[in-house]
């Protein structure tokens, strides 16, 4: 058996991300980019700022990938607690018991086959982090994307500043081939992270998740509705997502939406 077969996929992915991050940073410092020119001129503020941003993005990546994304408690709950949880949900939408881990799933929870757990407010399983994005780590995930995009765009500019196209092809390939490959890699990563960030900002603004957006027609509490029952407007959605206020189970929010719709229906009927 190969030695790496004994290592968990999460360790391999996070190690690969760390090595790639510092490898790209080293290439930018070793070639004749503005980063190196600042260093040689004794202007250390910008190089140090860039290094700190790289370090911060790496630490944020590790925090999101290692933290609990919002696992549903698998410990047996008292009967009173179960009854309370059931009472908060409209009878038309009963809570579902997970067929894999046999827990009673709260609204917006889903079982992840990779993590083998049910995740509260499940968004998606991120293979680049080897962890789910859920209720607890989704705000940090968005913050990571913002910081990572800043680092990538700055790195892209630095890589471009070191490319010189006046040399003969053979000489240029030997002197700048690695830097050009880094530029292409940073371009690809910048595009991917930009699209990810834009999509998640849209989802956060409307208080929905990637899973709900893609699979609304298959989700019991969404497929019979024409609008998102969790959407409370841009400001309240953002405050709730980043600050956790107002706090409370999603079942309560659903019940409030049901009551509001019933009141509107009654007033129109009158």
CA 132, CA 67: separation in Å to the nearest integer? 9
Q: Supply 170's token pair.
A: 């053979």
Distance between CA atoms of residues 146 and 135, nearest Å: 18
What is the Cα–Cα distance from 36 to 46, expressed in whole angstroms? 10
Cβ pair 130, 13 in contact under 8 A: yes
**Could you count the other beta carbons within 10 Å of the beta carbon of residue 232?**
17
- Give the active site residue among 98, 126, 132, 243: 126
Known active-site residue 126: yes
Please give the backbone phi and psi of residue 71, each rounded to the nearest 5 degrees, phi first.
-65, 140
Residues 170, 48: Cα–Cα separation, whole Å: 34
Q: Give the Cα separation of 114 and 126 in Å (integer).
A: 10
- The catalytic residues are 126
């Amino acid at each position: 058996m190969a030695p790496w077969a004994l290592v968990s996929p999460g360790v391999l992915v996070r190690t690969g991300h760390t090595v790639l991050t510092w490898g790209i940073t080293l290439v930018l410092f070793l070639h004749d980019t503005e980063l190196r020119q600042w260093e040689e001129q004794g202007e250390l503020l910008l190089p140090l700022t860039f290094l700190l941003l790289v370090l911060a993005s790496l630490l944020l990546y590790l925090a999101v990938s290692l933290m609990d994304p919002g696992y549903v408690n698998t410990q047996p709950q008292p009967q009173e607690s179960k009854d309370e949880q059931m009472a908060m949900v409209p009878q038309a939408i009963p809570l579902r018991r997970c067929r894999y881990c046999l827990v009673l799933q709260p609204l917006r929870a889903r079982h992840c086959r990779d993590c083998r757990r049910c995740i509260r407010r499940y968004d998606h399983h991120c293979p680049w982090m080897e962890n789910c994005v859920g209720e607890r780590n989704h705000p940090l995930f968005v913050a990571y994307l913002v910081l990572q995009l800043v680092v990538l765009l700055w790195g892209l500019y630095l890589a471009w500043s070191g490319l010189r196209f006046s040399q003969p092809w053979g000489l240029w390939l030997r002197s700048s081939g690695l830097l050009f490959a880094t530029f292409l890699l940073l371009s690809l990563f910048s595009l991917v992270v930009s699209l990810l960030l834009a999509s998640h900002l849209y989802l956060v603004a409307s208080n929905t998740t990637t899973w709900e957006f893609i699979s609304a027609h298959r989700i019991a509490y969404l497929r019979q509705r024409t609008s998102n029952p969790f959407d409370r407007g841009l400001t309240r959605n953002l405050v709730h997502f980043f600050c956790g206020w107002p706090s409370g189970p999603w079942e309560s929010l659903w019940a409030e939406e049901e009551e509001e719709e019933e009141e509107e229906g009654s007033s129109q009927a009158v």
